Structure 1
């Protein structure tokens, strides 16, 4: 029987969240420069790309038994609370001014109009994304769970991996590899089921088939996947694809899969010291809340820093721990109010 809390996994939930904050906070984006490019910032950006795939794998892994037992009922009970959170935070992000300088100088509507128009220009993509860019994760997860539930319900689970692989390949061809294949997609392929389905299905199949991998093999797979991901990002520079724009590449699922299998091979990592164990479990239960709130925190920290004249190295060093601590504080504050029922699962 798989324990409900795997310490190595809970620890890496927090590490993955920090990686996502790093992607969005973009530290060291102005200095240091190497050949005129902020390569430290660019590498940090791509080094965090394991995080969202890992979250998808975890979702598929932990929901698998319930999906197998009652696919549609599980889909409903799992998805509706998530969509409620997505909708609530989308409304908040639509209403919250992002540029405080414009807000104070020109007014609320002047600040919001451009962003609202941007979202209205591509309504289908906005539907799969939400009120702010990071919220795409929730509809993508629901899409993946819906596909799995549908195929299980109609006894077509043998199609899960082929369909998920096909969606992933299409997502690549119309996404990061679009300059090569010249395919157009109706939405940004990071959104929706294109990439999420494969990762969630992989987690689902690992749990269903009780697959295991020796630790050193898993680490090797993760390293090879990471190297392939970075090689692809470098190769795509010749097609004018910016290094830091790639959410998913061919190597990404191998990278995250290897990491996940390594965590399963060392499930008790972090359990030896009770205080550390308690701190990890205490923080990991708030990861979803911190995820949905963190990008607004990033936006406002940068706004306030600009208003008070803080910039450069001090901001680069402090931005990630500052955003993490504020996000934890806001999440725990929400948990103590009636808003918890609306803003958090």
Structure 2
């Protein structure tokens, strides 16, 4: 088990990455309106919020044996390539123009300076987010791994989940609930360690203690977490928090953990060569997909696409371009720098 891949986990990672791609395509927001509100788009957006927590859970689960054996050495080896990927893609995204029409009409610097100025307004947040918004995941993962390693090194693992839970609750209260709590936060709490540490630690502890539940119990847990998440999202709309603006809520952790335990309860799901081969590309797809979505947004704009046609073109085009880019670079020397 320690050395062999669990096919259901690989399938879960694969589903999660394409869910993230679909979410970043901002689908269903201009049609299927109810009282001028794109509720279908809002619900779709929030229905994808299990994906990133699942990534953190899986990461904590997979690294647990090595982290227990050699915490500091393991976290150094784990974070070094992630840091390299984060820096390289941040530079790429800082240099890549997002609005090609503006580049053609006003010039490259005019297009870029606005974005650079926006990032400069909140330097700490930008440091944790990188050159483009989706890259926040990498520093958050590295910080979660580092914090867990420090607890292992100090022989204080009993404190890991309680401390991570406090951080998570603070992240929610100072994040989506900030209009109610007015809690101070040094940066946007989705970034950094507030949410990632608990999810990573839960995966770590699930493996350490060999926690298992039945598939039915896991699905009930996931469904309950999802219901809580959606109930919170709807409740918060009364306090001017957009329904589709919630990355993590109190119920999200339970939702993600239930789905992860379901994957563990069904280890043979996805036991096919294409799943195991494609799942190796999850991190490359993650870092490359949003620039490709931006490319397709420009293409759809030039073609005058709108509504469902635009959504279909952006999503399918982004998936195809991302896979072509990743596979094309896979066997080149650039792969080490771009994709770990």
TM tier relative to shorter chain: over 0.9
C-alpha displacement of 1:2: 4.1
The runs of at least 4 aligned residues of structure 1 exceeding 4 Å deviation read none
Tell me, yes or no, if the aligned pair for 2:60 and 2:202 is still in contact at 8 Å: yes
Show the counterpart of 2:57. 57
Q: How far, CA to CA, are the matches of 1:5 and 1:322 in structure 2?
A: 30
Q: How far, CA to CA, are the matches of 1:10 and 1:321 in structure 2?
A: 22
Show the counterpart of 2:149. 149
Specify which of 323, 328, 342 is matched with residue 337 of structure 2.
342
Answer yes or no: is 1:205 the counterpart of 2:205: yes
Answer yes or no: is 1:217 the counterpart of 2:217: yes
Spell out, residue by residue over 1:313-333, the C-alpha distance to the aligned partner (whole angstroms, 9 max, x if none): 212233323212221111111
Show the counterpart of 1:71. 71
Specify which of 271, 274, 277 is matched with residue 282 of structure 1.
277
Q: How far, CA to CA, are the matches of 2:286 and 2:270 in structure 1?
A: 23
Tell me, yes or no, if the aligned pair for 2:61 and 2:206 is still in contact at 8 Å: yes
What does residue range 1-345 of structure 1 map to in structure 2 within 5 Å?
A: 1-2=1-2, 4-271=4-271, 277-345=272-340
Q: How far, CA to CA, are the matches of 1:215 and 1:23 in structure 2?
A: 27
Show the counterpart of 1:274. none
C-alpha displacement of 1:281: 1.2
Question: Structure 1: any 5+ residue segments left out of the alignment?
Answer: 272-276
Tell me, yes or no, if the aligned pair for 2:67 and 2:74 is still in contact at 8 Å: yes
Tell me, yes or no, if the aligned pair for 2:8 and 2:267 is still in contact at 8 Å: yes
2:4 match: secondary structure: coil
Q: How far, CA to CA, are the matches of 2:267 and 2:335 in structure 1?
A: 31
Q: How far, CA to CA, are the matches of 2:149 and 2:222 in structure 1?
A: 29
C-alpha displacement of 1:32: 1.6
C-alpha displacement of 1:131: 0.3
Spell out, residue by residue over 1:85-143, the C-alpha distance to the aligned partner (whole angstroms, 9 max, x if none): 00000000000000001000000100000100111111111111100000000000000
2:333 match: secondary structure: coil
Q: How far, CA to CA, are the matches of 1:105 and 1:172 in structure 2?
A: 42
1:286 match: secondary structure: helix
C-alpha displacement of 1:162: 0.9
Tell me, yes or no, if the aligned pair for 1:27 and 1:319 is still in contact at 8 Å: no
Spell out, residue by residue over 1:33-91, the C-alpha distance to the aligned partner (whole angstroms, 9 max, x if none): 11111111111100000000000000000000000000000010000100000000000
Q: How far, CA to CA, are the matches of 2:144 and 2:322 in structure 1?
A: 27
C-alpha displacement of 1:311: 2.2
Q: How far, CA to CA, are the matches of 1:312 and 1:218 in structure 2?
A: 37
Tell me, yes or no, if the aligned pair for 1:161 and 1:201 is still in contact at 8 Å: yes
Spell out, residue by residue over 1:272-316, the C-alpha distance to the aligned partner (whole angstroms, 9 max, x if none): xxxxx1111121100100000100011110101111222222122
C-alpha displacement of 1:159: 1.0
More displaced stretch, 16-25 vs 188-197: 16-25
1:212 match: secondary structure: coil
Tell me, yes or no, if the aligned pair for 2:7 and 2:270 is still in contact at 8 Å: yes
Q: CA RMSD in A?
A: 1.0
Q: How far, CA to CA, are the matches of 2:205 and 2:91 in structure 1?
A: 35
Tell me, yes or no, if the aligned pair for 1:22 and 1:44 is still in contact at 8 Å: no
2:110 match: secondary structure: helix
More displaced stretch, 305-314 vs 247-256: 305-314
Equivalent pairs, count: 340
Tell me, yes or no, if the aligned pair for 2:25 and 2:314 is still in contact at 8 Å: yes
C-alpha displacement of 1:192: 0.4
Q: How far, CA to CA, are the matches of 2:43 and 2:18 in structure 1?
A: 15
Q: How far, CA to CA, are the matches of 2:122 and 2:149 in structure 1?
A: 29
